[in-house]
Structure 1
Amino acid sequence: MRLVLALLLALLAAPAFAQQGPATLVADRIDFDATRLIASGGVEIYSDGRILRASRITYLRAEDRLVVEGPLVLLDGEGSIAVADFASLSADLRASVLQGARLVLNEQLQIAATEIATGAEGRYTQLYQAVASSCEVCAANPVPLWQIRAKRIVHDTEARQLYFENARFEVLGVPVAWLPLLRLPDPSLERSRGVLAPRFSSDDLLGTGVTLPYFIPLGPSRDITLLPYVTNTETRSLGFRYRQAFDNGAIEINGAASDDTVTTDDLRGYLFAEGAFLLRGDWRLEFDIETVSDDTYLLNYDISEKDRLDSRIAVTRIDRDDRVLAEAIVFDSLRAGDDNRFLPTRVVTVESQRRVPRSVLGGQAIWTLQAHARERTASEVPLGFPTNSARDVARASAAFDWRRTEILGNGLVLTGIAGLHLDAYSVQQDPTFADTTFARAVPYGGFEARLPLARAGAGGVRHLIEPVVQVIFSPDNRARTPNEDSLTPEFDEGNLFSEQRFAGRDTRELGNRVNIGIGYSRFSPTGWTLGATVGRVLRDDDLGQFRPGTGLDGRSSDWLVSASAEYRDRFHLMQRSIFDDQFDFARSETILRWTGPRHSLQTRYTWLEADVAAGRPIDTSEWALDASRDLGGDWTGRVNWRYDFVTNDASRAGAGLTYRSDCVTVDFDVERRFTSNTTLRPSTRFGLGVELAGFGADDRRTRKRRCGI
């Protein structure tokens, strides 16, 4: 019966809807005469994407107008819902006047008004005597957490903007601000020109002030955000962030210029820029620029804790069998006591590495060619400085590495290892090298034996034990070479079975040695994974290549012991220690990450023995903690802590509290930095940010709405 009535109305009203296409009406009952049509009982009208639902409507043929007695619901597209007590609409549902109405945009922002009027073109909607809020309103809490009252609100559906006239902002019903004109984006707009949420802060050094970001879209693929910052201590700063996406890459530039009383400099600032582009032939261009006016600026303005900056440009190509790299890097040390003139701050590297696609003597071969140069800006060595303070080095290297693996019938895995590394040096401005040009060759060979032993236990649990022995033969003659890229060798389970433990090529590990160890893994269907590794290095002779504190010095290295436990992505525990036969620890590190539905915990304890050559004049014993906890009711607390047990001082401590509901986010944090030097003083920083939901795209549509705080 409803279908018959719908078809009948379509025939009667076809002239009225001819311009926009026929409308469809469904109702339980229709009465009509020559002047009007009345539909009642579950009435629904569909017209060009708009839907009207009501219990009774009257269509006046002479005026081509619908009169609706509420309650009624008008849906305009996907993101707009209007509820009203009375409405007068055009036949195509575009031009309308709703009284006693409430408009809901994108399921986030609701606006109540005495009258809502939409023009015939459908672009502009005007709301009179309106109240806007994204907070839930209920009987228990009739006053929302925040609301904006306005004499008139105009919604531009094409530009997706909201314009407020004579606006009054209220918190818990108390007026706190008045603005004669106010423009805000509607909830469906992701990028809109205008002011972003301000950030209030208080700092011992910079004073109490506010950062007021201003976002400017420059098209669909680029934008800029200005971040003016002013305080009560005459600190004036203008930061910015520029982003642009291209068809083959993207760039981002961050920077700031500041005038403050922290130093005597007239102007301070920084610039960080990075980008990556895909080029023809699978080539990739990358660049990274980092520069700052002085050593303490980044810490003063809480931008970064980096104490060594690196500006880099590189071209790379990586495929199945080849890797090609050409890069230039300029380093800038911000560490107290460092003088960049006497550090190798300019570095250029060109490298080509290829895996031979066909078998070589039954195994896999990789050859590498590299040209490398590093330069210090100083040309003379001041009195009392090391003789290498002005040294410049150029090196050409070639390497050939080969491995072949065979699995025997009893499960024993045998691997043959061999290689040859050639280096030619040119050393300038270092009197310790009488010959400025020289070469060296370092061959090596050996084998590795593994015996994986697996067993399946009850409940699907699997165990794996794997003892490993690796024997490396290499000459023990130490050709003197400048060493600048191999100063800090590491010793962990990742390179326990490796023919080379120096990170660079200046120093090659020499002498005959045996790497021994055993690994254990346990896999459970419940998601738990356990692992452990024990091993050490035994040498024919101590060649003095490794310093105390690395765990690799002496004829026998320290014991390396590591253990780990994981439960899916929620829990991770790792412990790694390096100690000698007397259980004197050179290094130890414990890391715990634990994430749950209501909490997140990351903590780390690190012990490092003093190593002057690595820039560590005293022992390091530090504990760091970062944790957050859902406190319930939209509240989240967090803390961070870093403590040095050697000096018995905290280096950094902080706490924060966030309230994030369906309509507002309030973020408060306080942080104290205790570290200091001749140019850096300890400081305490407070921060407060407030962000209203419902204006601009947000991820809270799926968040459960609730009343009150």
Structure 2
Amino acid sequence: MRALILAGLLALTTPAAAQDALPVTPATLVADRIDFDQGQLSATGEVEIFADGRILRATRITYLRDEDRLLVEGPLTLIDGPDQILVAEFASLSADLRGSVLQGARLVLDQRLQIAATEVAQGPAGRYTQLYQTVASSCPVCDGGKTPLWQIRAKRIIHDKQERQLYFDQARFDVAGVPVAWFPRLRLPDPTLDRTSGWLAPRFSSDDTLGTGVTTPYFVTLGPSADLTFSPFLTNTDTRSLGVRYRQAFERGDLLIEGALSEDRVTADPWRGYLFAEGTFALKRGYRLEFDLETVSDDTYLVDYDVSDKDRLDSRLAVTKVERDSRAVAEVILFESLRTGEDNRFLPTRVLNAERQRRFVPAGLGGQAIWTLAAHARERTATHVPAGQPSNAARDVVRASAALDWRRSWITDGGLVVTGLGGVHVDAYNVRQDTAFSDTAFARAVPYGGVEFRLPMTRTTAGNVRHVLEPVAQLILAPSNRPVTPDEDSLTPEFDEGNLFSATRFAGRDTRELGTRANLGVSYTRYDPSGWTAGVLVGRVVRARDLGQFRPGTGLDGGSSDWLLSVGASHAGGFEVMQRSIFDDQFTFARSETILRWQGSGHLIDTRYTYLEADPTAGRPIDTSEWSFDASLDLAGDWTGRANWRYDFVTNDASNAGLGLTYRSDCVTVDFDVERRFTSTASLQPSTRFGLSVELAGFGADDRRTRARKCGL
């Protein structure tokens, strides 16, 4: 039978001796056999000692009373908490298992990083562990003694358990057994540390504009809720850049600031840069403060330094409140265009907006009603209209609006859904610096009313497959002539299944859809219990007469709109395909879009084709015909491939293309990508960019503990 001794460290042959040897923290010994001798105790077999949260397992231990130490013969295992395991051949330990010297030892941290050493010494306080003549790696040590993919050899490593840091003396970094770097001193976080100050993984890059260089980020912790990252970037073409990112979480909000200052030879001005900032803060009584700042030194900086592909910047300061039945917003927005050919002086770059909405049930009518009060102002910095510019080039507008919208539905005994809807929109304008408006101040009111009929019909067939057919007819009555208003927030009206049965197709408030019209459509949807859903919708707008509100290219012009056809299918497993087209009676397409997405555990495909008829007023002087493709695929082992492609069928040229390859194992991540931009402007030339980054696992916390460890690539 196994012998068990409790209370006391390891009981000796006399009570007095046991009392003298009693440590501060009680210990427990479990062994197959225990022998007592004068001045010592020996335990053999499957020996386990439990002391102050530590567990020692060995085949033989000897307790020396005079020295108050344990001699342990291995193979032995010392488990110190949930994140640290020591494996050795021989050890000399203090009675509480804290102070120790182990020979031929291996330290395993968080089941990910292992350090082999000829000797391991731990102080009596248990905070510092010193390892001598070491080899450290998070790669698995495979059969046959094969060299790990990477390893760090050092004369000494000190593990600070309290600070969760590893300090290396005279370290050498090997890749596949080949030395590639030497460090007299090196500090790295252990695998249990989530955040700490220090260098992050560098990224190497090369492109035609900035040259070949390296980015070496340095991360600084500023307490538990804030951090700062510096990202110096140097190239062989004397490009120097310093990127900065500051993040902070507050009790009632958060803040993010990003920016960079760069010196290069790309433009005549050697100093360039950008600044982005955003934040959200909770105020009293349910209000929120939101702000967003975007500014850049020149039009091409964001593209040159691969920061963003935005070509119009917007900075915003707003106070908002959204509740179940109400919404309030007051905001200031500043726009800045980076597009070639656009002059910010003649764009409404300064915008003020305030809006209050509430939803309620009107007495006596039932249903649901929404009232809206809004104030809007937009200003151009130009003070007059230059020769050759349109009359609205310097136009400033102030608008006050009030609206009331109502709708209510009834269901007849036959299943017909009848909906009544109506409302009125009133706007008062003050227009300046536009000769097209002789009256600078005027008002308009647009009432509307309508009725909608839906007849959803359902049928279930074999296999519990459900079919739903729903024809819809909606009649809208509205006046045909109202004062012309300055239209700048509804220049690109959309026509799709989302607004086929809307009272207006204009997104903004400047323009309201006029005239009596019928919105007609029918939809069919098939639901399969296997996870498949497929459907089709066809619809059209028929007007009493053409009022010329919609331009060609929108699909809404003429006495009758173009046909809207939407077809789609999806599967719960991650597959989705959709095709939406707008075409006239002669099958001439104004718009067409096809989207296919397929996402699974090891793949992601997102491809689409888009066609848009030319619309100069909307910024499209020629037709748009473009195909884009984005995909990633898990290859053999830990390899993942990526590809993206964008092709313009009008110019018969690729816009951009890219390839990427990532190797992510339980001990390292290597990421390589190449991107080619084919487009060019007066200030932007085609370029190719390469990128490479290497990140070692096992230093700092990540999600790789869940990955199955394996040998080889």
TM-score range, shorter chain: over 0.9
> Which deviates more, 456-465 or 142-151?
456-465
Tell me which residue corresponds to 1:607: 611
Normalised by the length of structure 2, the TM-score is 0.98
Structure 1 counterpart of 2:315, which letter? S
Structure 2 counterpart of 1:622, which letter? E
> Which deviates more, 42-51 or 544-553?
42-51
> Which deviates more, 357-366 or 311-320?
357-366
Normalised by the length of structure 1, the TM-score is 0.98
Contact 2:638 2:664 in 1 (8 A): yes
Deviations 1:266-300 (CA, angstroms, capped at 9, x unpaired): 21111111111122211111111111110010111
Q: Secondary structure at the match of 1:166?
A: strand
Tell me which residue corresponds to 2:536: 532
Deviations 1:128-168 (CA, angstroms, capped at 9, x unpaired): 00000011111246100110000000000111110000000
Q: Secondary structure at the match of 1:481?
A: coil
Deviations 1:17-54 (CA, angstroms, capped at 9, x unpaired): 85542011111111113411111111111111111111
| 2:325 aligned with 1:321 | yes
CA distance in structure 1 between the aligned counterparts of 2:8 and 2:312, rounded to whole angstroms: 79
Relative distance call for 1:376 and 1:18 in structure 2 (3 A) is farther
Q: Secondary structure at the match of 1:701?
A: helix
Tell me which residue corresponds to 1:222: 226
> Which deviates more, 137-146 or 627-636?
137-146
CA distance in structure 1 between the aligned counterparts of 2:270 and 2:7, rounded to whole angstroms: 79
| 2:600 aligned with 1:596 | yes
CA distance in structure 2 between the aligned counterparts of 1:481 and 1:315, rounded to whole angstroms: 28
Contact 1:17 1:23 in 2 (8 A): no
Which of 361, 367, 371 lines up with 1:367 in the alignment?
371
Deviations 1:240-273 (CA, angstroms, capped at 9, x unpaired): 1110000111111111011111101121111111
Deviations 1:396-436 (CA, angstroms, capped at 9, x unpaired): 00000010110000000000000000000011111211111
Q: Secondary structure at the match of 1:613?
A: helix
Using CA pairs under 8 Å that are at least 6 residues apart, name the structure with larger relative contact order, 1 or 2. Answer: 1
Which of 38, 43, 50 lines up with 2:47 in the alignment?
43
Relative distance call for 1:539 and 1:131 in structure 2 (3 A) is same
Deviations 1:345-364 (CA, angstroms, capped at 9, x unpaired): 01111100001155551221
Matches within 5 A, 1:74-223: 74-140=78-144, 142-223=146-227
Shift of 1:706: 1.1
> Which deviates more, 24-33 or 439-448?
24-33
Tell me which residue corresponds to 2:705: 701
Contact 1:29 1:41 in 2 (8 A): yes
Deviations 1:508-557 (CA, angstroms, capped at 9, x unpaired): 00000000001111112111111211101000011110011100000110
| 2:468 aligned with 1:464 | yes
Shift of 1:15: 4.6
Structure 1 counterpart of 2:360, which letter? V
Q: Secondary structure at the match of 2:642?
A: strand
CA distance in structure 1 between the aligned counterparts of 2:170 and 2:27, rounded to whole angstroms: 39
> Which deviates more, 37-46 or 191-200?
37-46
Shift of 1:235: 0.5
Tell me which residue corresponds to 2:280: 276
CA distance in structure 1 between the aligned counterparts of 2:22 and 2:449, rounded to whole angstroms: 88
Tell me which residue corresponds to 1:412: 416
Relative distance call for 1:18 and 1:524 in structure 2 (3 A) is farther
Tell me which residue corresponds to 2:290: 286
Structure 2 counterpart of 1:151, which letter? K
| 2:356 aligned with 1:352 | yes
| 2:403 aligned with 1:399 | yes
Structure 2 counterpart of 1:362, which letter? G
Residues paired across the two proteins, number: 709
Relative distance call for 1:170 and 1:555 in structure 2 (3 A) is same
Contact 1:141 1:707 in 2 (8 A): no
Deviations 1:287-339 (CA, angstroms, capped at 9, x unpaired): 11111110010111111111110001111111111100111100001110000
Contact 1:289 1:311 in 2 (8 A): yes
Relative distance call for 1:358 and 1:36 in structure 2 (3 A) is farther
Relative distance call for 1:499 and 1:131 in structure 2 (3 A) is same
CA distance in structure 1 between the aligned counterparts of 2:573 and 2:516, rounded to whole angstroms: 42
Which of 636, 643, 666 lines up with 2:640 in the alignment?
636
Structure 2: segments with no counterpart, 5+ residues: none
Tell me which residue corresponds to 1:66: 70
Structure 2 counterpart of 1:354, which letter? R
Q: Secondary structure at the match of 1:632?
A: coil
Q: Identity over the aligned pairs, expressed in percent?
A: 70
Tell me which residue corresponds to 1:686: 690
Tell me which residue corresponds to 2:339: 335
CA distance in structure 1 between the aligned counterparts of 2:338 and 2:655, rounded to whole angstroms: 18
Which of 646, 650, 670 lines up with 1:646 in the alignment?
650
CA distance in structure 1 between the aligned counterparts of 2:229 and 2:526, rounded to whole angstroms: 50
Contact 1:321 1:357 in 2 (8 A): no
Structure 1: segments with no counterpart, 5+ residues: none
